[in-house]
Amino acid sequence: MKPSTRAFAGAALFWLALAALLHVLAVLGRPGAWGAMVHTLLFGWITSMIVTVNYHTVPVFSGRDFPSQPPIWAHWWLLAGGVALAVAGQLADLPVLSIAGIAGELAAALCFMLNIVLLLRYGPARPRMPAPPIANQPQIDRLGTQATRASGMCLPLALVLLLGARSGWPGEWVLAAEHLAALGWIMLMIVGVSYHVLPRFSGQGVRPGPWVRAQLACHFAAVLLMVPALGFGWGGLFAVGGTLMAVALGLFAWTIWPALRPVLPRPGVISLAVREARHE
Structural contact between residues 75 and 11, judged by C-beta atoms closer than 8 angstroms: no
**pTM summary value:** 0.86
C-alpha angle 64-69-71 in degrees, rounded to nearest 5 = 105
pLDDT at 134: 83
Structural contact between residues 139 and 116, judged by C-beta atoms closer than 8 angstroms: no
d(CA 13, CA 9): 6
Residue 182 CA, distance from chain mean position: 8
Structural contact between residues 183 and 222, judged by C-beta atoms closer than 8 angstroms: yes
Q: Which of 42, 38, 247, 252 is nearest to 147 (CA)?
A: 252
Q: Which of 158, 170, 156 is nearest to 226 (CA)?
A: 158
pLDDT at 262: 62
d(CA 270, CA 280): 16
Instruction: Please report, for the chain, the start and end positions of each structural domain, with discontinuous segments joined by +.
Output: 1-128, 137-280
To the nearest 10 degrees (0 to 180), the angle between helices 47-62 and 95-122 is 10
pLDDT at 274: 41
Residue 198 CA, distance from chain mean position: 17
What is the chain's alpha carbon radius of gyration, rounded to the nearest angstrom? 20
Structural contact between residues 195 and 144, judged by C-beta atoms closer than 8 angstroms: yes
State which residues of the chain have pLDDT below 70: 129-131, 262-280
